[in-house]
Amino acid sequence: MNAFELYNPTKLVFGADKVNQLGELIKPYGKRILLVYGGGSIKKSGLYDDVLFQLNGIGATVRELSGIEPNPRLTTVNKGIDICRTEKIEFVLAVGGGSVLDAAKAIAAGALYDGDVWDFTVHKAIIQEALPIGTVLTLAATGSEMNGNAVISNWETKQKRALGSKHVYPKFSILDPKLTYSVPVDQTVNGIVDIMSHVFEQYFSLTTDIPLQERFAESILLTVIENGEKALADGSDYDARANLLLAGTYALNGTLPNGVTTDWATHGIEHEVSAIYDIAHGAGLAIIFPNWMKHVYKERVGKFVQYAVRVWKIDPAGKNDNEIALAGIEATREYFTRIGAPATLGELGINGEQLERMAEEATQFGSIGTFKQLAKDDIVSILAASL
Amino acid sequence: MNAFELYNPTKLVFGADKVNQLGELIKPYGKRILLVYGGGSIKKSGLYDDVLFQLNGIGATVRELSGIEPNPRLTTVNKGIDICRTEKIEFVLAVGGGSVLDAAKAIAAGALYDGDVWDFTVHKAIIQEALPIGTVLTLAATGSEMNGNAVISNWETKQKRALGSKHVYPKFSILDPKLTYSVPVDQTVNGIVDIMSHVFEQYFSLTTDIPLQERFAESILLTVIENGEKALADGSDYDARANLLLAGTYALNGTLPNGVTTDWATHGIEHEVSAIYDIAHGAGLAIIFPNWMKHVYKERVGKFVQYAVRVWKIDPAGKNDNEIALAGIEATREYFTRIGAPATLGELGINGEQLERMAEEATQFGSIGTFKQLAKDDIVSILAASL
């Protein structure tokens, strides 16, 4: 086990109708609030009204930034930063899925920074402070509700980059499984893939002697696999939605990487694909991850054997390690296909034209990943296998 | 799954020699420090010198309270409170195991309270504020390093009671597995039992549809069972000690009770035993827990079947549910015995004289537990089976 630090001060408020605590939760932070959300779905569901009722209840002055894109754009983030400055915003409230939360984090950090918020994503500056943030989550997927990370896209340069800081942990996040009842099937599927992918990035590690972290990761995978199918069969299954929601949070709230060298290469590759083609993150991950697995599993086949046996219950009898590992990878692909995720870039209308460029971008700061360090050629191979 | 709140702001600093960050970690909180520790073991190990070196490095003024008992006493806590007041202490630093940490929490809360600190344990007052606390942990056991709970004993009235508050979460806890190399065998054993018992209290629940919380609990148990034996075989096995330490923290840092109705009856019973006989908490739990299990398992045999199969790998073939459940309970007892924990109160020189009194005390506020609500007679039965 490596040395590590664990720190996560976000307060999670989990349960049906917990949005009724929103006013009380925001109160300590101020009354000038920027409300950030996406399309109109929170208006259709009535959540928008519930949120405004809470904000009015504490006498808040509310400014709004709507229309956050599924891959939130720098231009939109900059709009939010402008509002924060001109309106002397004290608190940023994100209501929506991971992209809304990510945009809110970038806005909250950018509002208190003199330069361009993009600087944080390219290591030109470090976040020193941010406006306080709160969230009402409507989608089980990114884990953004309980961590200090965000991903934003520069649509002009076709770049998708991450920023992170302890200053952008949400002060609180409200998780009501009922708010996810109305999530459409395709977004539920993408969320399932996203959660599982977050686990993969931290589970497939060369770090040894980390039994607890491995079992925690397997716990999340087993929970998501089972409850993902239940939530797809019945979108209003409270416990299935609740289990997905909690699993999504734990997949990326700092529990899994304790003392573990994590990978994150597949996310790096997917970011390049969705930066150019604007596809859903989960769809990209479903396509690429099994191909990453096939490309790297021989680096430590034992880890993939453990994955196959513990997560997919592959019977090892009569198989050698490579066969067991490949059966586990195949089971992953079959599950993704069974729940309706795409298996090839071709299904999304993406051909091989930009493979070189994407691989180039992904490795602009050097090779990526740790389970196997991937150079440009590795990434071209993985993407070519994904066509 | 029930509704819940999760909030845990403790920063965990985990790894070899991390005590060298102590000065830097304390700095933001002040320079007038009360150093709380137990017997002389931290002097023998050299840790005391390392801590003082760090405190001198930031120009701290240090007052000391040593001699914290294994079941920390109210009288000792009150000594610490007096020092805090007369010396204008700004920060309480606990260096030791769970009892030292617990004492430090009670001192930190009591120092800023006008009444008797015992009030917090009998619900006469609620903790509104506390001095900031930091810890350097030397023993994998109580989980006190990352929660807001403490247990103290009133030796005059023979009562052992808990207090809890978000105000007494440690600001940071330093966990260096190497500091646990010198823990004697019996304390290592008690720590193992203590960790497993914390999991049991949260795992054996009537709450349904909590697959993630159940698997997390099983993850901790499997990790402790395996690494406990490794640590006992070789006290200087870094990874075994690290895995025990991390498991101990996660057993009681708020991960397991999310949305779960927990039990805690066995801790209530054990507190009465050790309040009168001053035995080690882990020893008392090793004796009582399997007897609690036998007393209650029929309330939901399925949960005990799952426990037997997933944790102890009991083969269910040819057994009915009761037989599988009992085999799991028997495996628990066998493990405790194998690592050297006591199985009967008699081994500790305790006879049946005080059974009634202990059962009376345990139920003074009504029945205890939730998996099965235990009245006085239930507790007498469990204690009688433990003689």
Q: What is the DSSP string of A119-179?
A: GGGGTSS-------EEEEE--SSS-GGGSSEEEEEETTTTEEEEEE-GGGS-SEEEE-GGG
Q: Output the pLDDT for position A39.
A: 86
- What's the pLDDT band for A378 if we cut at 50, 70, 90? very high
Cβ-based contacts of B3 with chain A (< 8 Å): 14-16, 18
- Domain of A64, CATH number, reads 3.40.50.1970
Q: Are residues B92 and B54 in the same domain?
A: yes
Q: Output the pLDDT for position A111.
A: 98
pLDDT in tens, A87-140: 999 999 999 999 999 999 999 999 999 999 999 999 999 999 999 999 999 999
Q: What percent of chain A has pLDDT over 90?
A: 95
Q: Are residues B151 and B234 in the same domain?
A: no
Q: Is the pLDDT of residue A206 over 90?
A: yes
Q: Output the pLDDT for position A240.
A: 98
Q: Is residue A3 part of a domain?
A: no
Q: Is the pLDDT of residue A278 over 90?
A: no
Work out how many domains chain B is built from and give that number: 2
Q: Is the pLDDT of residue A248 over 90?
A: yes
Q: Looking at A161, A179, A197, which one is the last position of a domain?
A: A179
Whether B3 and A9 lie within 8 Å, measured CB to CB: no
Picking from A130, A101, A92, A132, the residue whose alpha carbon sits closest to that of residue A113 is A130
Nearest to A3 among B1, B11, B18 (CB): B18
Q: Is residue B261 part of a domain?
A: yes
Q: Output the pLDDT for position A230.
A: 98
Q: Output the pLDDT for position B373.
A: 98
Whether B212 and A15 lie within 8 Å, measured CB to CB: no
Q: Output the pLDDT for position A367.
A: 97
Q: Is residue B149 part of a domain?
A: yes
- What's the pLDDT band for A187 if we cut at 50, 70, 90? very high
- What's the pLDDT band for B275 if we cut at 50, 70, 90? confident
Residues B358 and B383: beta-carbon distance below 8 Å? yes
Q: Is residue B5 part of a domain?
A: no
What whole-number distance in Å separates Cα of residue B11 and Cα of residue B21? Answer: 12
Q: Is residue A90 part of a domain?
A: yes
Q: Are residues B166 and B290 in the same domain?
A: no
Chain A interface with B: residues with Cβ < 8 Å: 1-16, 18, 208-212, 215-216, 218-220, 222-223, 226-227, 239, 242-243, 246-247, 250, 255, 258-259
pLDDT in tens, B83-118: 999 999 999 999 999 999 999 999 999 999 999 999
Q: Are residues A135 and A194 in the same domain?
A: no
Nearest to A209 among B210, B216, B243 (CB): B243
Q: Are residues B138 and B273 in the same domain?
A: no
Strand order of the β-sheet with B61-65 is A61-65, A32-37, A91-96, A133-137, A172-175, A4-14, B4-14, B172-175, B133-137, B91-96, B32-37, B61-65
Averaged pLDDT of chain B: 97
Q: Average pLDDT for residues B363-372, to the nearest whole number?
A: 96
Averaged pLDDT of chain A: 97
Q: Looking at B152, B179, B206, which one is the last position of a domain?
A: B179
Picking from A283, A259, A299, A254, the residue whose alpha carbon sits closest to that of residue A350 is A283
Q: Are residues A357 and A210 in the same domain?
A: yes
- Domain residues for the domain of A113 are 11-179
Q: Are residues A225 and A369 in the same domain?
A: yes
Q: What percent of chain A has pLDDT over 70?
A: 100
Q: Name the 3-class secondary structure at A259.
A: coil
Q: Looking at B157, B179, B201, which one is the last position of a domain?
A: B179
Q: Is residue A6 part of a domain?
A: no
Q: Are residues A219 and A153 in the same domain?
A: no
Q: Output the pLDDT for position B40.
A: 84
Strand partners, A13: A174, B5
Q: Is residue B6 part of a domain?
A: no
Q: Output the pLDDT for position A149.
A: 97
Q: Average pLDDT for residues A33-58, to the nearest whole number?
A: 96
Please report, for residues A223, A226, B225, B252, the alpha-carbon distance to residue B218 in angstroms, rounded to integers and kept in the order given. 13, 17, 10, 14
Q: Average pLDDT for residues B329-342, to the nearest whole number?
A: 98
Using the 8-state DSSP alphabet, how is residue B368 labeled?
A: B
Q: Are residues B15 and B159 in the same domain?
A: yes
Q: Output the pLDDT for position A160.
A: 87
Whether A4 and B11 lie within 8 Å, measured CB to CB: no
Q: Is the pLDDT of residue B39 over 90?
A: no
Q: Is the ipTM of this complex over 0.90?
A: yes
Q: Are residues B143 and B193 in the same domain?
A: no
Q: Is residue A4 part of a domain?
A: no
Mutual angle of helices A238-251 and A211-233, in 10-degree steps: 150
Q: Output the pLDDT for position A158.
A: 85
Q: Output the pLDDT for position A203.
A: 98
Cβ-based contacts of A209 with chain B (< 8 Å): 239, 242-243
Whether A223 and B215 lie within 8 Å, measured CB to CB: yes
- Domain of A282, CATH number, reads 1.20.1090.10
Q: Are residues B155 and B87 in the same domain?
A: yes
Q: Are residues A39 and A137 in the same domain?
A: yes
